[in-house]
Amino acid sequence: MEETIKVLVADDHTMFVDGIDSILKDERDIEVVGRCYDGPSVIEFLKKESADLVLLDVNLPDMNGIEVCKIVNKDFSGTKILAISMFNEESFVTEILNHGAEGYILKNTGREELLTAIRTVNGGKTYFSKDVTQTIMKSLMKSRKASNSSKGFIPKISRREKEVLKLIIEEFTTQEIAKELFISLKTVESHRSSLLAKTNARNTAGLVRITIENKLLD
């Protein structure tokens, strides 16, 4: 005889949690033992009661899903994690899987797939939505490409170059930048030249676009 799978639902969208609740309550082998609306609550809950599996939203307020994942894996190793998210974002997927999540499904997966995912992960295996699998594949391809070909790859921009770049985007001219940073006009020109080379831009317009698109100033 199988035991019931004790599930903790962690998502800040009440309506969503309600929905999952409604879906799971019809299943005899699954029991929702708690619901949390932010990261810290998950940890608090697990300190008091046990759960076999956490249905964990990647994008939680207060504490990131990835942070929660880390802690759960370290302190509550008996509890599995099934990540769940709106977004099939490469960064989310790879990061949370690297921090101990056993599965990743999207919020646009149906009732049946949700149940399959819960039972699979609880059984000690991993489960990914079809779309997520593709994303993971893409990610692997990319990391291979990035190391081979040099397209789309932007070398590290130095501290000083960043300062110059920031001022360029704020519409400073080369002269103004030189005064602002107390360096020669020629030095600023040199930095600009390096920036164009590194970003593979043909001119300032491209430099600004590439900077914003690739968030080079973060």
Partner DNA sequence: ATATATCTAGGGGTATTCCCCCAATAAAAT
Partner DNA sequence: ATTTTATTGGGGGAATACCCCTAGATATAT
Q: Least distance (Å) from DNA to the CB of residue 96?
A: 24
Q: Does 138 bind its own copies (CB under 8 A)?
A: no
192 binds, among its own copies, DNA, none (CB under 5 to 8 A by kind): DNA
Binders of its own copies among residues 22 to 81 (CB under 8 A) are 22-23, 37
Q: Does 207 bind DNA (CB under 7 A)?
A: yes
Site string for DNA, 154-183 (x = CB under 7 A): -xxxxxxx------x----xxx-----x-x
Which residue of 64, 73, 88, 109 would you call a contact of its own copies, by CB under 8 A? 109
Q: Least distance (Å) from its own copies to the CB of residue 35?
A: 11
Per-residue tokens: 29: 């082998």
| Cβ neighbourhood burial of 172 (10 Å; 0-12, 13-18, 19+) | middle
159 binds, among its own copies, DNA, none (CB under 5 to 8 A by kind): DNA
E strands along the chain, which residues? 5-10, 30-36, 53-57, 80-85, 103-106, 127-128
Pairwise CA distance, residues 149 & 116, whole Å? 40
The footprint of DNA on this chain (CB under 7 A) covers a number of residues equal to: 29
Question: Which of these ranges, 28-36, 39-47, 112-120, 194-202, lies near DNA under the rule CB under 7 A?
Answer: 194-202
Element (H, E) at 43: helix 39-48
Residue 35 sits at the vertex; the CA angle it makes with 31 and 36, to the nearest 5 degrees, is 150
Q: Does 64 bind DNA (CB under 7 A)?
A: no
CB 33 within 8 A of CB 7: yes
CB 132 within 8 A of CB 88: yes
